[in-house]
Structure 1
Amino acid sequence: MSDPSAPDSRIYADYHSHPSITRFSPEDLQARRQRFYFRVMFNPICEVYVYDFQARTVLQLTDGKLVPIKYVTDDLRGE
C-alpha cells in the first residue's frame, strides 16, 4: 500500500485466498488468529473481502469501493 502523504509508513496485512468458499471462515474472524490490522481475502469468483480487525467489520469490494457487509461480534471473534 502506498500513501504519498506518509512515505515512511508501512501497513501490514494478511493476504490470502480461499480456493472453494466465498466468504471468511469462522476461524478467519477469531481474535487469536489476528496478527495484523486487517485481512484481505479473495476467492475463485474474483470477489475481494477485507476484515478490519480494529473496527470488527467485514467489507466487500463493490464497484471499486469497500462496502461494509457484516459486523463481527465477540462470539464470532472467540472472545
Structure 2
Amino acid sequence: ENGEFKPAYNDTIKDYNTILEMFDRILNPDPMSYTSPELKSVFSKFKDLFEKHYEEQKELENSYQVQSNTSTQAIKAKLS
C-alpha cells in the first residue's frame, strides 16, 4: 500500500508456531521470492537447534512441574 513495506508478522511477541512459520517462509519462499542456498543452510541448522532447545525446555519444565507436585504432596502428607 503506497509503496510502504509491511512486515508479515507485526506482533512483537512471537510464539513458537509463529517463529516456525517465519523459518518456513525463509526455507520455502513463496513463488517469485528467493532465498540463497547458503541462507537456507544457515536457517535450516538454526531451526533444528531452535526446535531441539524448545523441546529440551519443555521437558525440563515438565520435570520441574512433576517435582513441584511431588513436593507439594509430601508437605500435605506431613501436615495431615
TM more than 0.5: no
User: Could you say which structure has the higher strand fraction?
Assistant: 1
Higher percent of residues as helix = 2
What TM-score does the superposition give when structure 2 sets the normalisation length? Answer: 0.24
Higher relative contact order (CA 8 A, sep 6+): 1
